[in-house]
Structure formats: structure tokens, C-alpha cells
Structure 1
Amino acid sequence: MSAIYHNTMAALDKIVPPKLQPLWTHPAGPKTVFFWAPLFKWGLVIAGIADLQRPADSISPSQSGALLATGLIWSRYSLVIIPKNYSLFSVNMFVALTQSYQMYRALSYQNQMKNKASSEK
């Protein structure tokens, strides 16, 4: 598998335009996992944005909390590794932001239900 990857990269090296060579050869460029992992992680952000339409009673606070925590942890990590990975930072900040809003919605809903239940007693 490694030979296929290296042969593919060698072939692509020849066709990448000179203007894009700095990006192509960057330590966090398309030849590395530092580029592809954040790119595919945007799927979590898209899913989180789509979940903003879900009713608040169907939001899992534990799932949102876990995603919020990982977003914050990986955001910090992306700034202390070498090379710094700003695309990883941005995607994880978006994960953290969408999940913090979901947490707010879930906790607000739970508080409303508690208040409603206590006022009915």
C-alpha cells in the first residue's frame, strides 16, 4: 500500500503547478495526514450544523459534551504540535462551537422540563 501511495505522490509531484508547490510540499500539506484528517472532520461540523434543526428533547447532552471536549482538546493540540496545524484548529473550533450551542439547547430544555414539573406539583 505504501508503494502505491509513494508512486501516486511522485506522479502528482510532476503535475502540480509551480504556484501550488509551496502548499503541496508544506509539512501539513496534501501529502500528509495533517491535511486530510481535518478535511474529513468537516463532516462532523456539517452534521452538527444539521443537528441544529433537531428538537431539543432529542439532543444527547453526553454526546454533545464529548464532542465539545474533543473539539477543545484537539484545538489546543493543533497549536502545540510541529508543524502548527491551523486547518485542524479551525475544524475543531467549529466542532466545539456547534456542540456548545447544542449543549446549551439540551440543558435549557432540561431546565424548562424541571421547572414545568416542579410548578405542576
Structure 2
Amino acid sequence: MASLVASLNAKIRSHPVLSYFCSTHFWGPASNFGIPVAAVMDTRKDPEIISGKMTLALCVYSAVFMRYSVAVTPKNYLLFGCHFVNECAQLTQGYRYLNYWHNGGREKALAEAPKEVATPIAPTKA
């Protein structure tokens, strides 16, 4: 059994494309793409729920890993793309956060919100 696994591994590693798809250089970024996908989907949500601290942390995180992805040998462009998408989404969220909480966006949204009209309740006869 061990020789079968060893021969299969040798066959996979001898083919460059198969070797790439069976490596952490592929599966790490591929599984990490959930973060930027969620971040892009969050750009459609209400800006009131954006955490400024978390957005800043994710911006720094993605910037560091974009740098790391091209500093390693071999360069990992899939990891770079993953964090580039996340960096763009987080910068968008950061802009939305600042606009909403610090540049009058919240006040504007509250002013444009439809006013609820209280309807009088008719008294009931007992």
C-alpha cells in the first residue's frame, strides 16, 4: 500500500499542472476565497452594521498577505488575487463606514427615511 501511494505521489509530482492542483499553493488560496466573497456580498448591506475596527484589521491583513504572496518562491498569484479582491472590498467597506458615521451619511439616511404616521385607534365599546 505504501509503495502504491509513493508511486501515485511521484506520478502526480512529475506532472506540473497536477502537482500545482495538489499543493497548498492552490488549495490554501482557493479555500481562503470565502473571505473576499463574503466581503463583496457585505458591500450591499446596511452601512450601520460595518465595524470600523474589523474593516481596518482586514485591510491590514490583506495588504500583508498580498505582499507575502509575491515574496515567497514560487510567487503565489492566486493568493495575491484572493487578498487583492478582499483589500478592494474592505476599502469599499471602509469608505462606506467613514461616509456613514463621520461624513453625514447617517443623518442623510435618517432624513430620507419615510416618517411613520401614527394612526389613531378608535375606542371600542364595551
Other structure's SS at 1:53 match:
coil
Matched, 1:47 2:38: yes
Aligned to 2:16: 22
Aligned to 1:56: 47
1:57-109 Cα distance to aligned partner (Å, 9 max, x none): 10011111111111110000000101110000110111111001001100111
Tell me the TM-score normalized by structure 2: 0.71
CA distance in 2, matches of 1:31, 1:9: 15
Other structure's SS at 2:22 match:
coil
Structure 1 unaligned regions, length at least 5: 15-20, 117-121
1:3-44 Cα distance to aligned partner (Å, 9 max, x none): 7xx939927x47xxxxxx32222xxx1222111110011111
Tell me the TM-score normalized by structure 1: 0.74
Aligned to 1:7: 5
More helix by share: 1
Matched, 1:90 2:81: yes
Matched, 1:76 2:74: no
Alignment RMSD (CA, Å): 2.9
CA distance in 1, matches of 2:74, 2:56: 28
The percent identity for this pair of structures is 26
Describe the shift of the 1:71–1:8 C-alpha distance in structure 2 as closer, same or farther (beyond 3 A): farther
Other structure's SS at 1:82 match:
coil
Aligned to 2:119: none
8 Å contact kept, 2:26–2:78: yes
Structure 2 unaligned regions, length at least 5: 108-126
Describe the shift of the 1:49–1:115 C-alpha distance in structure 2 as closer, same or farther (beyond 3 A): closer
CA distance in 2, matches of 1:92, 1:52: 16
